[in-house]
Structure 1
Amino acid sequence: MVRTVVAGLDGSRESRAAAEWAAREAHLRGLPLTVVTVQEPVPHPLARAPLLGGETQAQWSARVQAEAVEGLRLRHPGVDVGLMRLSGRPADRLVGAAAAAELLVVGSRGLSGAGGFLLGSVGQAVIARTDVPVVVVRAGEQAADEHESDPAGIPSAATAYRPVVVGVDTEQPADDVIAFAFEEAERRRTAVRAVHSWYLPAYYLYGLSFDASLHNEIVREKAAELAEVLRPWRQKYPSVQVSEESRAGSAADRLVGAACDASLVVVGRRVRRSPVGLHIGPVTHAVLHHAPVPVAVVAHE
C-alpha cells in the first residue's frame, strides 16, 4: 500500500491551513498527500436546492474542493496531491481513510484572545480513535511561523526551523512519542526541546518541611532521570541537538509555555480499549486547546 500523508478538508480556514501544513510535511517526507473530504448526508430536497445560479449543494462543494486541491498542487509542485471524496460521518470516514497513512492532519478553530482553541467533536473523535499520529493545525498557520525570525525580527521560511518540543514522562516513557519528535526534528534540521514536569513531595505542599539541600537533590534526580531516558535517542539521532528541561509544576503549563518558541509540539495519547468515551488525557487535551502552534498527538501503549 502506498505511504501517504492525509489531510481532512471541509472548506474552513482551519482545514485549509491544515492542508497547507500537510503539503509541507509531505514534501519533507517525500510522500504524496491525499486530501480527504467528507460529505455528510443531507435531505434530498436540500441537496438539490439551487445555491448559485442553479448550482446545487453537491456541485458547489465539489467545485470548492477541486479548486482547493488545485491550489495546493500549484503552491507545492513537488508534492503529488490527490483528492478522495467520501460520504458519511466525518470522524468515521477520516479514521478509515487514514488507517494506512503515516500521518493525519486536521484543523482546529480558535477562540477569542487568550481563551485558546476549540477542538471540535470530529477532531476529538479522530484523535481518540486512530493509532495514526494526528497533527492539529490552527487557522492562519503559515510556513514562516515554523521558522526563527530573520535579522529584522520577522519569521521567515528562509531561516532555520524552530525546535520541536516533546513532553516526556520519565516514569513511563513512550518510545513512539519520543521517536516521532526526533524524526520531525531531524527532517527539519532543528533541535528537540524535551520538557519534563513533576511535583514536589506532599509535605512541601503543606509547608511542614523545607530543606534546601533535599530540594536541590530532588531537582538533580529528576534531571538525571530525564537525561537517562533521552540518552539512547541522542545516540540514535546524533545530528539532532537536544535541550532538556526538568522543572516542578504542571506538565500542561510547561508544554504550552515552551510551545511559544516551537515549530511543533509532540504529546502522547495512551491507547485505551474501552468502547465508552473519548480518551485523550488531560495534559494532551490542555495542550491541544492552548498551544499556539501545530500539535502532534502520537498514540502509544
Structure 2
Amino acid sequence: MLPPVIAGIDGSAESLAAAEWAAREAVRRDRPLRLVHAWNWHPRQEDGEIATAAQRHLARRSLRQAEDRIRHTCPGVKLEDEQVEGPATAALLKAAERADLLVLGSRGLSGFTGFLVGSVALGVVARAGRPVVLVRAEEEVADEHLPDGDGGASTRTGYRDVVLGIDLAEPCDDVIEFAFEEARLRGARLKVVHAWQQPSPIGLGSGDIGLVSGPDRAEEWLGFLTAVLQVWREKYPGVEVVETVTEGRPQSVLVRAASGASLLVVGRRTTERPTGPGTGPVAHAAIHHVGCPVAVVPHA
C-alpha cells in the first residue's frame, strides 16, 4: 500500500485548513489521506476512565468535523482517520515515519508580525524524518491559483509558482527533487532562488567566486545554479524553471521571493546540533514569516 499523506487534526481552524490542503495534495499525488488526532491522558487525573472517554469523544468530534469539510471540498480523496494516545509531538513524529508527507497547521497573524507556529509543529518540523508542510489558518484553495483575468480569486486558473530556496554551497538532491515534483504535480512554474552575500573583509567567499567583483560574482553564482539544476531539468522536461540569484540574507530573500507563491520549499539538515534538533535559520524564518504553505524537507 502506498504511504498516505497525513494531516494532524486538533479541531483548530489551522488544522482544518491543513487537512483541506492535505486532501488536495493527496489527490495530486494519488495517495490516500489519513487524519490523525493525538490525545494525551495524564495519570494524575482523578478518574482515568472518564478522562479517556472525554478525550476520545473530543478526538472523534474533531476528526468528524475535518472529514465533513474534506468530503464537501475534495470528494475524490480516499479518506481514513486514526486516534493515537501520547504527547502530540511524539505521536505525530511516529505517524510521519509511515507518511509520504505530513501536513500541520500554523495560525496566521499578519504580514508584519509573522505567523505563530505552536510548539508541537515546531517540534515535529525539527525532528521529522519525512517532509512536513505547514499551512496557515486562512489558506484557501484559490490561494494556490493565479488570479483570473479581472484580478479576482479563482480555482480554475493555473497554479502559482512553486519556490525553492537552494544553498549552492551544499545543494541537496532530496530538497531539489521534492520541489521539482511539486511543480510537476501542479503544472506550475518552479522558481529557484539562491541568496549570496559579499565576502567579509577578512576572508573570501566560496571558491573562486570570492575573487571577482559584485556583478561578476552574481553571474558566477547564476552559472553554478544552472549547472546544478541541469540534471533536474532533464529529468523533469515539462517543468518550466526560472533561476534567480539575489544578493542579501537568505532569510529575507526567500520571504520576498515566496510572496504570491503556491508553495515554498526549503531544506533542513538532520545532523544533530550541539543545542539539539532545530530548523535552522532559513527554515525558521520561512515558517514564521511566509504566507504560503511551507514544505520543510529533511536531508543529511
Pairwise same-fold verdict (TM > 0.5)? yes
Superposition deviation, residue 267 in structure 1: 0.1
Matched, 1:11 2:15: no
Superposition deviation, residue 202 in structure 1: 2.0
Matched, 1:158 2:156: yes
- 1:88 and 1:151, CA in 2 relative to 1: closer, same or farther beyond 3 A? same
Residue 262 of structure 1 is matched in structure 2 by 261
Structure 2 CA distance, aligned partners of 1:126 and 1:204? Answer: 39
Structure 2 CA distance, aligned partners of 1:262 and 1:291? Answer: 10
Superposition deviation, residue 19 in structure 1: 0.3
- 1:100 and 1:60, CA in 2 relative to 1: closer, same or farther beyond 3 A? closer
Greater Cα shift, 164-173 or 56-65? 56-65
Superposition deviation, residue 32 in structure 1: 0.4
Structure 1 CA distance, aligned partners of 2:245 and 2:62? Answer: 47
Kindly indicate whether the alpha-carbon contact (under 8 Å) linking 1:124 and 1:278 is maintained by their aligned counterparts in 2.
Answer: no
Opposite residue 107 of structure 2, the aligned amino acid is R
Matches within 5 A, 1:114-263: 114-203=112-201, 214-263=213-262
Question: How many residues are paired up?
Answer: 289
- 1:146 and 1:47, CA in 2 relative to 1: closer, same or farther beyond 3 A? farther
Superposition deviation, residue 80 in structure 1: 0.8
Structure 2 CA distance, aligned partners of 1:228 and 1:80? Answer: 40
Superposition deviation, residue 170 in structure 1: 1.1
Kindly indicate whether the alpha-carbon contact (under 8 Å) linking 1:4 and 1:33 is maintained by their aligned counterparts in 2.
Answer: yes
Structure 2 CA distance, aligned partners of 1:215 and 1:125? Answer: 39
- 1:197 and 1:276, CA in 2 relative to 1: closer, same or farther beyond 3 A? closer
- 1:64 and 1:203, CA in 2 relative to 1: closer, same or farther beyond 3 A? closer
Superposition deviation, residue 142 in structure 1: 0.5
- 1:155 and 1:204, CA in 2 relative to 1: closer, same or farther beyond 3 A? farther
Secondary structure of the equivalent of 2:80? strand
Corresponding residue to 1:89 among 80, 87, 90: 87
Secondary structure of the equivalent of 1:2? coil
TM-score by length of 2: 0.91
Kindly indicate whether the alpha-carbon contact (under 8 Å) linking 2:37 and 2:59 is maintained by their aligned counterparts in 1.
Answer: no
TM-score by length of 1: 0.90
Structure 2 CA distance, aligned partners of 1:61 and 1:3? Answer: 23
Matched, 1:22 2:22: yes
Superposition deviation, residue 89 in structure 1: 0.3
Structure 2 CA distance, aligned partners of 1:283 and 1:113? Answer: 17
Structure 2 CA distance, aligned partners of 1:101 and 1:294? Answer: 18
Opposite residue 92 of structure 2, the aligned amino acid is L
Cα deviation, 1:132-183, whole Å, max 9, x if unaligned, reads 1000000010110011000111121100000100011112101100100000
Superposition deviation, residue 69 in structure 1: 1.5
Cα deviation, 1:22-42, whole Å, max 9, x if unaligned, reads 000001011100000011214
Opposite residue 126 of structure 1, the aligned amino acid is V
Superposition deviation, residue 113 in structure 1: 4.9
Superposition deviation, residue 204 in structure 1: 10
Structure 1 CA distance, aligned partners of 2:25 and 2:294? Answer: 13
Corresponding residue to 1:76 among 70, 74, 77: 74
- 1:222 and 1:39, CA in 2 relative to 1: closer, same or farther beyond 3 A? same
Residue 208 of structure 2 is matched in structure 1 by none
Secondary structure of the equivalent of 1:171? coil
Superposition deviation, residue 129 in structure 1: 1.4
Structure 2 CA distance, aligned partners of 1:57 and 1:247? Answer: 50
Kindly indicate whether the alpha-carbon contact (under 8 Å) linking 2:267 and 2:299 is maintained by their aligned counterparts in 1.
Answer: yes
User: Alpha carbon RMSD of aligned pairs, Å?
Assistant: 2.1
Structure 2 CA distance, aligned partners of 1:57 and 1:170? Answer: 47
Superposition deviation, residue 8 in structure 1: 0.1
Cα deviation, 1:236-263, whole Å, max 9, x if unaligned, reads 1111001011011011111111111210
Secondary structure of the equivalent of 1:202? coil
Structure 1 CA distance, aligned partners of 2:232 and 2:76? Answer: 31
Cα deviation, 1:231-290, whole Å, max 9, x if unaligned, reads 111111111001011011011111111111210000000112459523110011001100
Opposite residue 280 of structure 2, the aligned amino acid is G
Residue 209 of structure 1 is matched in structure 2 by none
Secondary structure of the equivalent of 1:70? helix
Superposition deviation, residue 223 in structure 1: 1.1
**Gapped runs of 5+ residues in structure 2?**
204-211
